[in-house]
């Protein structure tokens, strides 16, 4: 916008919370484990279907939150509108999906 815009950078605090890759690697491990649980739960055919479907969905959402907050940095400051966008979008999507489950065939 303004030619001086970049000078404002000096006023920004050099916040640097993830100095290392540790959190990212932990998230990777968590994602792999959650995914593995999901695949094994299906492959073993030992879990009752009424338990299995909610379990799979919970595993997916937990993994999604991990990735959103660590890999996509939603845990950092200034992500209020990121959260607004993602959660509002997810809400609209979920309402749509629930409506489709309930009221498309009846």
Partner 1 sequence: MATHHAVNGTLPPEPEKATLEGRNKVLGFWLFLGGECVLFGSLFATFIALRDQVNGGPTASELFQMPVVALATFILLTSSLTSVLGILAMHRNKVGQMQAWFAITVLLGLAFLGLEIYEFVEYYHHGHMLTSSAFGSAFYTLVGFHGGHVLFGVLWIALLIAQSFKKGLTLVTAPKFYVASLYWHFVDLVWVFIFTVVYLMGMVE
Partner 2 sequence: MSGQVTYAGRKGLWDWLTTVDHKKIGILYLIAGGIFFLLGGLEAILIRIQLMYPNYDFVGGSTFNELITMHGTTMIFLAAMPIIFALMNAVVPLQIGARDVAYPFINALGFWLFFFGGLLLNLSWFLGGAPDAGWTAYPPLSSGHDFSDQGVDFYVIGLQIAGIGTWIGGINFLATIVNMRAPGMTYMRMPLFTWATFVTSLLILFAFPAITVSLVLLMFDRLFGANFFDVNAGGNVIIWQHLFWVFGHPEVYILILPAFGIISEVVSTFAKKRLFGYSAMVFATVLIGFLGFMVWAHHMFTVGMGPIANALFGVATMLIAVPTGIKIFNWLFTMWGGQIRFTTANLFATGFIPTFVMGGTTGVMLSVPPADYQYHDSYFVVAHFHYVIVGGLVFGLFAGLYYWWPKMFGKKLNETLGKWNFWLFFIGFHLTFFPQHFLGLMGMPRRVYTYQADTGLDLGNFISTIGAFGMGLGTIVLLINIIVSIRKGEPAGADPWDGRTLEWAIPSPAPEYNFAQTPLVRGLDALWTEKMSGNGKMLPAEPLGEIHMPSPSVLPIIMSIGLFIAGFGFMYHNIPVIIGGMAITFICMIIRSLVDDHGYHVKPKELEDGEKGVKA
Is residue 17 near partner 2 by the rule CB under 8 A? no
* Closest approach of partner 1 to the CB of residue 28, in Å: 5
Q: Which does 102 bind (CB under 5 to 8 A by kind): partner 1, partner 2, none?
A: partner 2
- Count the alpha carbons within 13 Å of 83 in the hemisphere toward its beta carbon: 10
Q: What is the dihedral of CA 48, 53, 58, 61, to 10 degrees?
A: 160
Among 13, 17, 44, 105, the residue binding partner 2 under the rule CB under 8 A is 105
* Closest approach of partner 2 to the CB of residue 103, in Å: 5
- Count the alpha carbons within 13 Å of 46 in the hemisphere toward its beta carbon: 6
- The size of the interface with partner 2 (CB under 8 A), counted in residues, is 19
Question: Is residue 56 a contact partner of residue 38, using CB atoms and an 8 Å limit?
Answer: yes
* Closest approach of partner 1 to the CB of residue 35, in Å: 6
Inter-CA distances, 91 with 86, 94, 100, Å:
9, 5, 14
Q: Which of residues 54-93 bind partner 2 (CB under 8 A)?
A: 81, 85, 88-89, 92
Segment holding 53, helix H or strand E: helix 49-66
What does the binding site for partner 2 look like in residue numbers (CB under 8 A)? 1-5, 81, 85, 88-89, 92, 95-96, 99-100, 102-106
């Amino acid at each position: 916008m303004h030619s001086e815009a970049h000078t404002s950078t000096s006023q920004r605090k050099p916040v640097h919370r993830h100095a290392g890759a540790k959190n990212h690697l932990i998230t990777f491990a968590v994602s792999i484990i959650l995914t593995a649980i999901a695949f094994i739960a299906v492959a073993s055919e030992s879990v009752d279907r009424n338990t299995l479907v909610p379990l799979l969905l919970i595993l997916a959402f937990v993994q999604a939150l991990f990735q959103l907050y660590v890999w996509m940095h939603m845990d950092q400051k200034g992500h209020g509108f990121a959260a607004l966008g993602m959660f509002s979008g997810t809400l609209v999507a979920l309402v749509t999906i629930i409506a489709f489950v309930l009221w498309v065939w009846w």
